[in-house]
Amino acid sequence: MTKLSSALLGAALIVGGCCPPKKADTATAVVTPPTPDAGPTSAPPTPSEAAQAEVARLRAIADAHPLLAAWTGAYGGVPPWDRLDVTQLASAYAAALPLLEAEAAVIAANPEAPTFANTFVPLEDAGRHLDRLDALFGVMTSNLSTPEVQAVDKEWSPKVAATYDRLTFNAALFQRIAAVYAARASLTPEQARLVTRRYQEAVRSGAQLGAADQATLGAINEQLAGKFAEFSARVLADEDTWIVLESKADLAGLSASQIAAYAAAAEERKLPGKWVIVNTRSSVDPFLAASARRDLRQRVWEAFKARGDHGDAHDTKALITDIVRLRAERASSWASPPTRTGAWPTRWRSIRPRPTT
């Protein structure tokens, strides 16, 4: 054995002697069983899938509402007048407005490149539940307008305006609209016309404004919606007045059908044996056109044109001042008005305007 081998063997013996082997651990070892295989983890839904799921959820709620469900019957369906209930209007709007926004979110979240088919076709189809409700409510505000209907109008008009502003200010949605507008040369004339109008309406409604200006514009639109509803209610209050014709001499020049209508109006107001000219256009205009009594025509006309101008709780002068001021503030939202896209529209609209009734 060489000297080197002898030295290494001696060192090993010394280490072994001074460091005895470690005793075995007598404690019970805890064995963790393997985790069962849970299978592949499902991926979270994409923004588009999440938006579509939300539409399905909200549409099921809306379909179950009597004022929002699809119309049935002849001619493609007729309004459900037998189910019309003013107490259900608020819940109907509470269901229809989120659904419209969710339908717009699906369009905005579409991962495909914008085209007329995947942007404008679904955009035109969106809001059908709200359209049905607006048709019903428009009849109620125009022809019934009880205090209950007026209360719904005052409460929900600003909320409706805010919803349409959120659609207009949806940057992703407007980008798709603008992309299709930029490529409108490839569309049919009818498609190009629709795209151009929707694009111009969006621009004129503030789609290209900065976030701060959009917030200001949205607040103004909500205020205006509320003031328009209040204006209508005040004028309507003055329209719920009338002029009484006391004798047959006051009927000179009127037709038999007009006399019967004015007598029926008197009966409704518990004035039997008299005739009433209600302070509404449908009652006033025929009287002004037919009556042979100039003094009565003047009296009826002056009462009609003085609606909202009596200095009482129904006076509209201060309200008109507020409306004009807010409209001026709205116009100043733009550093320069977006007239480059064409003439201003006949009325203020959002991307998908509410139907007129």
Q: What is the pLDDT of residues 230-265, one digit of tens each?
A: 999 999 999 999 999 999 999 999 999 999 999 999
Cβ neighbors of 267 (< 8 A, separation 6 or more) are none
Residue 279 pLDDT: 96
> Which residues have C-beta within 8 Å of that of residue 275, sequence separation ≥ 6?
244, 245, 250, 251, 259, 262, 263, 265, 266
Q: Are 102 and 54 in contact (CB under 8 A)?
A: yes
- The reported pLDDT for the residue numbered 15 is 36
Q: At how many degrees (to 10) do helices 89-108 and 171-182 cross?
A: 60
pTM value is: 0.75
Quote the CA–CA distance of 2 and 5 in Å, as a whole number. Answer: 5
Bridge partner list, 243 = 277
Q: What's the pLDDT score for residue 238? A: 92
Q: What is the pLDDT of residue 32?
A: 53
The burial class, CB within 10 Å (0-12 / 13-18 / 19+), for 105 is buried
Domain extents in the chain: 47-208, 240-305
pLDDT digits (tens, 9 = 90+) for 154-187: 999 999 999 999 999 999 999 999 999 999 999 9
Query: Domain 47-208, what fold?
Result: Neurolysin; domain 3 (1.10.1370)
Structure tokens at 244: 């009484």
Per-residue pLDDT at 12: 36
SS3 state at 202: helix
Q: Tell me what pLDDT residue 17 has.
A: 41
Percentage of the chain beyond pLDDT 70 is 82
CA terminus-to-terminus distance, the chain:
115
Residues of the chain with pLDDT under 50: 1-30, 339-357
